[in-house]
Amino acid sequence: MATVTADYRERARIVFEARGRHFTNIRTPAADEGPVGYTSTELLLIAVGNCTLGALLNHELLRDAEVLHASAVLEAAMIPNPARIDRIDVAIRLEVVDPALLEQLEAIEIASCECPLCNTLGEKVRTRVDLSCPAVSR
């Protein structure tokens, strides 16, 4: 079981603690720019990105592969009234050394959403993987 404590302090920040580590998210607004810290939606996207990339790079197809680059861009499509997330689009960019992995793109795309958060959020999370190998031009 995972446990996080959240302590709202002075109506200005939230201090999170998990496993003895602390993270402070500033909630005071900057001039016309919204909160200085992360919004709740951004925090969720950070968690999905952390979970997705971690699970993908630890998957059996990539665990021992030489990965030159791994990044993700996450976007939340919102619905108003009441405000909520309709879907999360995750675009993952992987650059690997082994050209044989290019033939495994479908399996890698499936593996990209096998993390606990994707399993929990279900079809709300849509992942797409751009896989390249610098030794092979497509």
Instruction: List the domain boundaries for the chain.
Output: 1-37, 39-132
pLDDT at residue 52, as a whole number: 95
* Residue type at position 96: V
To the question of pTM greater than 0.75 for the whole model, the response is yes
**Dist. CA 11–CA 3, nearest whole Å:** 23
**Dist. CA 31–CA 124, nearest whole Å:** 33
**Dist. CA 43–CA 6, nearest whole Å:** 13
CATH number of 39-132: 3.30.300.20
What would the pLDDT profile of 31-88 be if each residue is shown by its tens digit? 766 667 888 999 999 999 999 999 999 999 999 999 999 999 999 999 999 999 999 9
Q: Which residue in 100, 4, 124, 3 sits closest to 52, CA to CA?
A: 124
- Model confidence at 111, pLDDT cuts 50, 70, 90, reads very high
pLDDT at residue 34, as a whole number: 66
> Given a cut of 60, is residue 138 above it in pLDDT?
no
Q: Which residue in 96, 1, 30 sits closest to 39, CA to CA?
A: 30
